[in-house]
Amino acid sequence: MAYDDQNIFAKILRGEASAFKVYEDEFSLAFMDVMPQVDGHTLVIPKDATESLHQADPGILARTIVNVQKVADAVKEAFDSPGIMIAQLNGQAAGQTVFHLHFHVLPRKDGLDASMHAREMADFAVLEDHAARIRAVI
């Protein structure tokens, strides 16, 4: 499948759609998931037009995973989370719904269940507050 530049993350990268951004550099962007599975659910994407892991340029992938680590460290601190889960889905059969490569960063702790993936839109004021908490420690 060819990369579709009308996907929502491509629009966020072009500034055509808004996002609750937490980190950005030359290679990647991180922002809050609008339908979070847990508080603090953050996405890290390369700026490169890449559909999934399978098409990723290894150099871009390396830069992206370094930023996944940076964001995961900040999310862990901001949400005082003993565990961080990284999820990354490739292809519709695996549950991928946005066809621009992305890494989910999910704070986890005992007794805290994650809700279903990409179901319920969060309150935007809460998302901005969460983004600010992460930006403060990144």
Cβ proximity to ligand AMP, 43 vs 84, nearer residue: 43
Query: Considering the rule CB under 6 A, would residue 85 count as an interface residue with ligand AMP?
Result: no
For residue 98, which phi and psi values (nearest 5 degrees)? Answer: -115, 120
Sheet with 42-46: list strands edge to edge. 21-24, 28-32, 42-46, 103-108, 83-87
The span of 22-30, 45-53, 95-103, 106-114 binding ligand AMP (CB under 6 A) equals: 95-103
Give me 107's structure tokens: 């704070």
Q: Least distance in Å: CB of 125 to ligand AMP? A: 15
Six token digits for residue 90: 């490739």
- Residues with a catalytic annotation lie at 102
Closest C-alpha among 5, 137, 14, 18 to residue 78: 137
Q: Which is closer to ligand AMP, CB of 41 or CB of 63?
A: 41
Closer Cβ to ligand AMP, 60 or 98, answer by number? 98
Contacts with ligand AMP, residue ranges (CB under 6 A):
8, 17, 19, 33-35, 43, 89, 95-98, 117-118
